[in-house]
Structure 1
Amino acid sequence: MFKKVTESIVKQMDPDGDLVPVRSMLDHEHFRPLCLVRRKKQTTFQRYPRYKQTWYRLEDVLLPGQDEPLIPSGGEQDARQFLIKKTGTDRIDGSLILPIDPTRGELTGAASLANEWSIKLKKNHIPPTKLEALKTERKINTNHAFIQQLQKTGQKLYVVHETIETMEEASYQETSDAEGKFMAQFYVKFCAKGTRKNIQSITIPKGCTLAFRAFQLAISDAWWDVLEGTLGALEAEVKRNCHILSTLSSQLSSILLTAIKAVMGDRNLFQELSHKMEAVLDEGDSDELKTESAALKDLLRLLQQSSAHTLLHMAAAITYTLDALEELSEDQLLLLLESLENKIVSQQLKLVESILKQREHGNGFSADPSLLSFSQERDHQVTIAMLEMSGVKLHEDGSAAGTNEAFSATGALYVSLYVLSLLSKPH
């Protein structure tokens, strides 16, 4: 019955969103803000994803910090109040006559279901910006037994960031009535009549969690991040795979950027660099990092001189970048090279991010019109053309048209722009 209440509330508050009803009142304490949960495999017949409690909170798996709450009370947590009311009465009448000789049967019946309830609710919400600030202050305790178990099994971990809770004790009652009559005419007459009334009720305590939202956590060594939706997952994925690129000096960034630009304009060089990076990842050594290509020599020499740890991380970041670039057309790669030359990739990155964010929030394809303003008309034309090749047609007012397939294609463009912007950024 508790499940019926929570699902009804979710249908009213967020019919097409990602709010998840709590299935059992016994488990509600394990789905509060900052609780860690695991997601079960969802089947096609389940309307909502199902999560399993872990008995841990986020602070339990972080390295010790100052003696204060992880998220201080008060202004750190956004809270809103709601009042949900529902009144319903359903009645069904029916009859059935069966003319079967030498027997005649008649079945009539009626059933009704009535429910009425009112619940005061509160939404607790931890803004992603608070979690973003927290991850820079507190690292994951990689020696924690639970974290080590997750890393061994490869299970995904989620953190609850929003809950719907009761503000006061609430009662829900459901009454069902059924009435039926069966009459059969054999060689003698037989008639029977019956009624049934069923009353079910449940009392929900104050502060009970009825529904929640959760973000996936990305954990790599002691570093962690929150994957907020599809765009959030993409952003975290890029940062995780390309983190080492943000630590490079200006000189090393320039060497890598030169090599990337070279392979963007030469398919043979692209394949050569891709194969060499895959060999490093597969075999873990730098024996194959030799080339006759002048465009790749400096980069491969740099990688040969790196430690084994740095080499693997660099090879992974380069492979990830090449995978994104390979999703783009040759014309898009040429336009990207022109954009690099004209120093507009940072603005293009913000534009693509804006488009992906609006698409994810259900607003269709659109963008901030100010990001479409370039000092040179040619830069504007290049940007529009590059987006159209990913399936997004932009208009001057920021509105756009695109298909669902355009989301993934624009994602590859986002990754490419992110890396190029990072490497070309002045140190």
Structure 2
Amino acid sequence: MFATATRNFVEEVDPGGFLIPVRSLNDTIALLTVVVSQKRFWFWQKPKYLPTDFTLNDILTGDTPITPVLTETDFIKYNETYGDKIQGTLDATFIHYNMNMEGKDSSKLQFSFGSLKKDEIDVRRLLQDSKNRVLDMSHCLIEQTKKKRQVFGVVKERIVTSQPCSVIEEVQQEGQCSGALSFCGPKTPKVSLKDNGSLSKDSNVTMEIPTNTTLAYALIDLEVKQDGRYKLCLMSVKGGFEVDSPTQKGLVGVTGAPEQNNPDVSHLRQELENLCAHFQLLAALPASSRSSLLKSITALIENKAALSALQSVLDQMLVEESGNVTDVSDEHKQSIQPVLDVLKEAERVSAAPKEHHVSLLSALHLITSALDELTCDSLAALSVCSSPDVLKIMELLVKCLSGSGESPASGADINALPEDVLSGMQQLFTSSGVNLQRDGDMARSQINQLQHVGNRPLIVCIALRGLHSLACCV
């Protein structure tokens, strides 16, 4: 709940900016707190930020601490309600069986942060205070971080609550099922079974957040020399540790995805072609495996927290060859376990042979990485466009966008879609820096060159092509 609230907050107030949402109430984020930026697997992924228990003063040599000059200002007053409703009915009649099912599902997440304040460090003063200061290179945090080629940053700004506030989640689920089933055979008496059942589940969870809780923060990275001297990276995110070896010189460490300010079609097409083996491997899975994965992943699209939990487990599996779900909540375990089960079974029976050294784990990680990069609004739009028929149309629009042949979607297919699906497609592409144009009986997609779209078109294309690979012939 808290992670979803802070992520939505950052997406609303600082889209594409430098604010980082706090993921856990257990994270203590103060000014000058040292945060480690962790390298990710795909170049377009944002770094993973790991707050530490140390401040810059804790890892400096000498007995004189840096005392920053602080500025506190009013930020904004923020309240938001986010929710959706789903309702469905099924009537089925067979020769010996009649069934009626009805289900309703609604959820609402309300953030009442109230008036927020911003704490900032005077960076010019910090620059002066950092002159001739040296980091303790024998400090355990530095030694561990340097070995893993990660990057240090210190908190220079944070958004904090100025009063007690709350995050409220309301979930209502209701279902009814009625049916009549008859068996009749030549040598057995007729048996009739009737059943009527209903299920309802309501939950209302309120999380009280105390005053002075950090919701988001911004970093300034450190460029660390071998002798412990450091520089503050003021204009861009490019920090790291200096190395000097026969095979590598300069800085190591990754803190962000290199972005194309105005990516052209050829760049997008080349990147998708480089990932083609991943999509081919997914499409080659047995139909039952693809169907199970598509069902599970599309369900995760509606649950951002569970999707991020799956992403973390797959991250760990790529690094350590074993996924640890002990830190995952029981609710999220239930959501992500079907994906892990299919992965385990496919690897056990070698159902998905490697294509060009691509594993099923890597292919699934690719899809979930792209989905995890999408905003909550984009995921909500995608959730209504994830049926196999709609994904087929979206794949044509991806081909059109990447310039891999003239592949517009036909107007007949587009016009047959429900209004909410059309609206979802439009919102998904628009939020990803893509223009969706209707021209008579055709629909075409094109990168919006008037905006700074970065890697967003590539990310949405990866997500759509991955889902379409699972939906083939389902």
TM-score by length of 2: 0.45
| Higher Rg | 1
* Larger RCO, structures 1/2 (Cα 8 Å, 6+ apart): 2
